[in-house]
Amino acid sequence: MFGGTKQADKEEAWAGAAWDTAEEGDPITVATPLVLRPSSMFLKMPLLLGLIVLGTHVWTIQKEFVDISKNDDYFMGSVEFAMAQFNENNVEEDAYKLLEVRRAQQKRWTMIFLMDLEMGRTICKKHEDIDECPLQEAPGDKKVLCTFIVDARPWFSQFLLLNSTCLQL
C-alpha cells in the first residue's frame, strides 16, 4: 500500500483517511477511548449555549418601548380607553379629564402602549360629557399623574388595561 508493513500501512491509512481500510479477515480493532481535544464538540457546547442566551437577550431588548407620536390614532384610542377605565374604577363621583400626555411609547412589534397621563378632577360627574367640563378650582382640587399600559386591538375595538399606577400631584 504505502511501502511498509501491512500493519504500518493500515495505521497510516487510518490516520490519513476518514474510512476504515480493514480487509476481509483482519481482526477488528477497538477504537481508542474518548479524549477531549480542543476540536471536540463537547467543549463547544458552552459556546453554543452562550450564543443562544445572548441571542435571546438581544431579541428581548428589541421588544422594549420606543417613543411614538402623541397624535398616533391607535395611541389616542388607547388614551381614551385608559381615561374611561380610570374614571369608571375611581371611587370619587367627579370625573377626571386629560390635561397632558407626558409620555407616549409603544412596545416594538406590538400594539402595546405605555403612557403617562396628567389628569385633573372636573366639576362634572362620571357619566356626564366632560369635554367642555371645567376643572375644580377649590382648595381640594386634585391632579393625578398616571402610568397606563394598554394592549390595543383597534381593528376589533378591543382594548385591555394591563397595568395602571397613579400618584396624586
CATH classification at residue 81: 3.10.450.10
Question: Which one of 61, 78, 95 terminates a domain?
Answer: 61
Check residues 142 and 100 and name the one with the higher pLDDT. Answer: 100
Q: Which three cell numbers stand for residue 88?
A: 369608571
Average pLDDT over residues 19-48: 61
Q: Distance between CA 92 and CA 100 in Å, rounded?
A: 21
Question: pTM value?
Answer: 0.63
**Domain C-terminal end among 61, 85, 106:** 61
For 2-26, what is each residue's pLDDT tens digit?
Answer: 455 555 555 554 444 444 555 666 5
Q: Verify that 91 and 112 share a domain, yes or no.
A: yes
Q: Is residue 1 part of a domain?
A: no
pLDDT of res. 86: 96
Per-residue confidence (pLDDT) for residue 65, from 0 to 100: 92
What does each C-alpha distance from 85 to 33, 55, 80, 98, 164 come to in angstroms?
Answer: 69, 38, 9, 13, 10
43 lies in the same domain as 77: no
Arithmetic mean of pLDDT over the chain: 79
Read off the C-alpha cell for 66.
420606543
Residue 5, burial from CB neighbour count under 10 angstroms (0-12, 13-18, 19+): exposed
Judge contact between 116 and 130, C-beta under 8 A.
Answer: no
